[in-house]
């Protein structure tokens, strides 16, 4: 992509309405535009990152055996009356009436709808287990939408639903998601800590919130400092295992939100207890037959008797994750994207766009990087170098490759790593080799 053509409305001033870094930076980097309170348009740069985050979520869901489908955003009130949640859900639910006076709603979550779909098609225990997910917009009429995409009213969520014949199967499904979540967040450069949680309006017996530590988080959290050294990608559980040992290990290390933490009973010595703030990026529930019973999601068991299926649901705040990643990875100049979700891999900066030699080398580099599949944003604009550097730092691409007349004479280009600020002068070939391998 060429900057001269890209729709990237960056701002120099800090928007007054934004209270936290991620919100400020997303506005300044031209990623989002608020259209109503808590409702955002995703501009090209923001949408690119949102797709990358979604893709990691998708890959880990698929790897854990979940299957993707897509349910609509608009649901019928009738479905929610079957579970008894239509009245319970309260003012957070956006209720709509169509021209025939039928009551509809913009889905805040999908337990009812998926249970209805499941029961329509699945009749036998032989078809279990099943785990179905989608990545879809949700609407919750939050009383106080704030912090940009962190607490929006319309937001993107991955939600999935597991169906098992018995509690043992359902708990295995739960552990698989527990692992998939740890992997998903780790791949985005985040340390998400699962904490025992209340089940709230979803209901159920077993629940963990996945929380990343960040000063601007809305929840107070406490955890053993051992959490900070755990690395699930480096130390994966044995392939094909039932994950019981893995789950036991991860749930034995202390972690609790302030709602659950009790200093009087907490056994972690004070010097090993981390007290911090956190952002909830995911939440998983095992709730047994809470929806399958009232909604009649039964299958014929091995002995022919009807069995209400055991269910769990699992949510990831896909759009909130973008804010969470920025909260945990930025500096005073802008965002620092982890490679896995960066909108482009390289920012190619031409310091003198009207210099024929610079332009020709840049065109050549741009073509070679594209040919090698390295996503590149080429700043070919006729702007001051200072403005170009500032924009590149702001949008936070992992690498900056700078071409200028002085370096060109000496046969070198400059390669900067955004995360560390480290700069090196390299030959054109060496710089290319570095970027193509990285």
> Which positions lie near ligand ATP, rule CB under 6 A?
109, 140, 142, 151-152, 155, 157, 280-283, 315, 317, 319-320
User: Which residues sit opposite 315 in a β-bridge?
Assistant: 159, 283
Q: Which of 106, 165, 112 is nearest to 140 (CA)?
A: 106
Angstrom distances, CA of residue 344 to CA of 31, 313, 376, 378, 387: 13, 33, 5, 10, 19
> Per rule CB under 5 A, is residue 171 in the interface with Mg ion?
no
Beta strands in 227-361 (DSSP E): 255-257, 273-288, 298-300, 306-308, 310-317, 330-331, 334-335, 346-350
Binding partner of residue 140 among Mg ion, ligand ATP, none, CB cut-off 5 to 8 Å per kind: ligand ATP
| Residue (46 or 315) nearer to ligand ATP, CB | 315
Number of Cβ within 10 Å of residue 27's Cβ equals 23
User: Which residues sit opposite 417 in a β-bridge?
Assistant: 399
Smallest distance from ligand ATP to CB 300, Å:
32
Binding partner of residue 334 among Mg ion, ligand ATP, none, CB cut-off 5 to 8 Å per kind: none
CA angle 168, 173, 175 (to 5 degrees): 95
CA angle 253, 257, 259 (to 5 degrees): 130
Binding partner of residue 323 among ligand ATP, Mg ion, none, CB cut-off 5 to 8 Å per kind: none
Q: Which residue is nearest to Mg ion (CB)?
A: 283
Q: Which residues 6+ apart lie within 8 Å of 405 measured at CB? A: 351, 352, 355, 357, 358
| Residue (165 or 188) nearer to ligand ATP, CB | 188
Binding partner of residue 158 among Mg ion, ligand ATP, none, CB cut-off 5 to 8 Å per kind: none
| Residue (24 or 140) nearer to ligand ATP, CB | 140
| Residue (75 or 319) nearer to ligand ATP, CB | 319
Contact status, residue 297 vs residue 143, Cβ threshold 8 Å: no
Beta strands in 165-294 (DSSP E): 192-196, 206-213, 219-224, 255-257, 273-288
Smallest distance from ligand ATP to CB 111, Å:
10
Piece of the chain touching Mg ion by CB under 5 A; list 140-148, 265-273, 283-291, 316-324: 283-291
Number of Cβ within 10 Å of residue 351's Cβ equals 21
Query: Omega of the bond prior to 30 within 30 degrees of 0, cis?
Result: no
Binding partner of residue 1 among Mg ion, ligand ATP, none, CB cut-off 5 to 8 Å per kind: none
Pairing outcome for strands 32-36 and 39-42: antiparallel
| Residue (151 or 418) nearer to ligand ATP, CB | 151
Piece of the chain touching Mg ion by CB under 5 A; list 16-24, 281-289, 380-388, 422-430: 281-289
| Residue (190 or 415) nearer to ligand ATP, CB | 190
How far apart are alpha carbons 23 and 290 in whole angstroms?
37
Three-state DSSP at 206 gives strand
| Residue (195 or 232) nearer to ligand ATP, CB | 195
| Residue (157 or 268) nearer to ligand ATP, CB | 157
DSSP state of 121: H
The binder of Mg ion chosen from 158, 171, 261, 283 (CB under 5 A): 283
Piece of the chain touching Mg ion by CB under 5 A; list 12-20, 122-130, 246-254, 280-288: 280-288
Smallest distance from Mg ion to CB 147, Å:
16
Smallest distance from ligand ATP to CB 219, Å:
8
Q: Where along the sequence are the contacts to Mg ion (CB under 5 A)?
A: 283
């Amino acid at each position: 992509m060429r900057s001269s053509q890209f729709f990237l409305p960056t701002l120099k001033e800090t928007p007054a309405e934004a209270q936290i870094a991620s919100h400020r930076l997303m506005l300044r980097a031209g990623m989002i535009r608020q259209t109503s309170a808590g409702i955002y348009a995703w501009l090209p740069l923001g949408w690119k990152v949102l797709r990358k985050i979604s893709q990691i979520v998708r890959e880990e869901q698929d790897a854990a055996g979940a299957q993707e489908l897509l349910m609509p955003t608009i649901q019928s009130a009738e479905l929610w009356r079957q579970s008894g949640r239509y009245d319970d859900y309260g003012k957070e639910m956006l209720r709509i009436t169509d021209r025939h006076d039928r009551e509809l709603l913009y889905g805040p979550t999908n337990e009812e709808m998926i249970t209805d779909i499941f029961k329509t098609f699945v009749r036998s225990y032989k078809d279990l287990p099943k785990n179905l997910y989608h990545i879809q917009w949700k609407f919750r009429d939050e009383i106080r939408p704030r912090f940009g995409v962190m607490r929006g009213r319309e937001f993107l969520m991955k939600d999935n639903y597991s169906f098992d014949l018995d509690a043992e199967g359902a708990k295995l499904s739960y552990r698989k998601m527990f692992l998939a979540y740890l992997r998903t967040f780790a791949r985005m450069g985040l340390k998400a800590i699962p904490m025992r949680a209340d089940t709230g309006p979803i209901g159920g017996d077993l629940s963990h919130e996945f929380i990343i530590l960040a000063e601007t988080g809305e929840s107070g959290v406490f955890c053993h400092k051992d959490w900070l050294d755990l690395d699930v990608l480096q130390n994966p559980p044995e392939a094909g295992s039932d994950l019981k040992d893995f789950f036991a290990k991860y749930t034995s290390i202390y972690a609790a939100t302030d709602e659950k933490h009790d200093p009087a009973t907490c056994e972690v010595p004070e010097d090993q207890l981390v007290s911090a703030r956190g952002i909830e990026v995911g939440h998983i529930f095992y709730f047994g037959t809470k929806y399958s019973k009232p909604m009649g999601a039964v299958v014929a068991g091995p002995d022919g008797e009807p069995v209400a299926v055991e269910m769990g649901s699992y949510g990831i705040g896909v759009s909130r994750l973008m804010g969470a990643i920025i909260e945990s990875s930025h500096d005073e100049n802008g965002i620092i994207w982890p490679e896995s979700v960066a909108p482009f891999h390289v920012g190619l900066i031409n310091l003198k766009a009207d210099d024929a030699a610079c332009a020709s080398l840049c065109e050549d580099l741009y073509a070679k990087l594209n040919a090698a599949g390295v996503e590149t944003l080429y700043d070919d604009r006729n702007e001051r170098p200072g403005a170009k550097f500032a924009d590149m730092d702001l949008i936070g691409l992992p690498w900056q490759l700078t071409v200028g007349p002085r370096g060109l004479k000496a046969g070198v280009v400059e390669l900067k790593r955004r995360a560390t600020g480290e700069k090196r002068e390299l030959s054109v070939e060496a710089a290319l080799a570095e970027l193509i391998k990285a």
